[in-house]
């Protein structure tokens, strides 16, 4: 992969000022990429980007205008995009099943699903300028129907139906985008239970949580498209 103006692959990671997103930024920089750290909070994002060697771009995945402006900045500075990692997400409320509201689902879908579509839409022209464009959608085993029906797996007992449904939607979006854009490698990665703010600090390290993401981003010519994997390999849909 080459870029128009820098001679380095160009990557952008959403929701990247902490946790899995920030670790993905760090690993991509270590691999020689020019990386855009994208997040809503400009003050926090600028400081973290400077410390990590990334470039900050303000991006709110729930806003067309914000994503359009961010894409314009990347276009003017880098000329193209080689790797897009859709990571920004919210967990949504955890309540008694009787108390979930339609508005709760709308809020989660707005960020976790529509946000991914919005980012892909505005950055697709830049990805199409790359010789090896890749999109990695950060999903979850909670979105797997196969794991939800496997009593041996913790995913079958997770009390988060709205979040899980949103991740199932991401899985289907990934498969369909991969079919419709055969010139790109478009995959979804499951970080697993990773110790971040989203998980309340429970789970394995952020390095372990980004293994599948980085494998899709940096893999060689045998990297698939339309796949769903965690750090151990393929997952059931």
Mean pLDDT across 209-227: 97
Per-residue confidence at 4, pLDDT binned at 50, 70, 90?
very low
CB-CB contact of 195 with 144 (8 Å): no
78 CB-near residues (< 8 Å, 6+ apart): 3, 4, 5, 6, 10, 34, 36, 126
In a domain, 187, yes or no: yes
Per-residue confidence at 6, pLDDT binned at 50, 70, 90?
low
Q: What is the pLDDT of residue 199?
A: 62
Tell me which residue range forms the domain holding 218: 10-234
CA distance 155 to 158: 5
User: DSSP 3-state assignment of 195?
Assistant: coil
CA distance 237 to 234: 9
Q: Is the pLDDT of residue 1 over 50?
A: no
Model-level pTM?
0.94
Tally the C-alpha atoms within 13 A of residue 140's C-alpha that lie toward its C-beta. Answer: 29
Letter string b/e over residues 73-87, b meaning 16 or more CB atoms within 10 A of that residue's CB: bbbeebebbbbbbbb
Q: Residue 207: which H helix or E strand, with range?
A: helix 206-218
In a domain, 214, yes or no: yes
Cross-strand bridge partners of residue 12? 36, 84
Domains in the chain: how many in total? Answer: 1
- The 10s digit of each residue's pLDDT in 129-148 is 999 999 999 999 999 999 99
In a domain, 61, yes or no: yes
Q: Is the pLDDT of residue 7 over 90?
A: no
In a domain, 3, yes or no: no
Per-residue confidence at 193, pLDDT binned at 50, 70, 90?
confident
- The 10s digit of each residue's pLDDT in 79-127 is 999 999 999 999 999 899 999 999 999 999 999 999 999 999 999 999 9
In a domain, 2, yes or no: no
Structure tokens at 220: 């060689």
User: DSSP 3-state assignment of 125?
Assistant: helix
Helix/strand/coil percentages in the chain, nearest 5: 45, 15, 40
The CATH number of the domain holding residue 229 is: 3.40.50.720
Q: What's 143's DSSP letter?
A: G
């Amino acid at each position: 992969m080459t870029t128009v103006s820098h001679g380095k692959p160009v990557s952008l990671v959403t929701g990247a000022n902490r946790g899995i997103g920030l670790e993905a930024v760090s690993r991509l920089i270590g691999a020689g990429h020019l990386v855009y750290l994208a997040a809503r909070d400009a003050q926090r994002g600028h400081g973290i980007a400077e410390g990590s060697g990334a470039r900050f771009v303000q991006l709110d995945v729930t806003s067309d205008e914000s994503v359009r402006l961010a894409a314009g900045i990347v276009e003017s500075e880098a000329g193209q995009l080689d790797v897009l990692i859709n990571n920004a997400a919210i967990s949504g409320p955890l309540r008694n099943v009787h108390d979930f509201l339609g508005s709760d689902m709308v809020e989660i879908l707005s960020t976790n699903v529509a946000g991914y579509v919005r980012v892909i839409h505005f950055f697709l022209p830049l990805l199409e300028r790359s010789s090896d464009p890749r999109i990695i959608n950060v999903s979850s085993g909670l979105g797997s129907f196969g794991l939800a029906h496997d009593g041996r797996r913790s995913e079958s007992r997770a009390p988060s139906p709205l979040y899980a449904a949103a991740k199932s939607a991401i899985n289907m979006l990934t498969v369909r985008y991969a079919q419709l854009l055969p010139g790109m490698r478009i995959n979804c990665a499951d970080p697993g239970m990773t110790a971040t703010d989203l998980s309340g600090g429970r789970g394995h390290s952020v390095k372990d949580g980004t293994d599948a993401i980085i494998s899709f981003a940096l893999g060689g010519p045998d990297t698939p498209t339309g796949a769903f994997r965690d750090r151990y390999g393929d997952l059931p849909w």
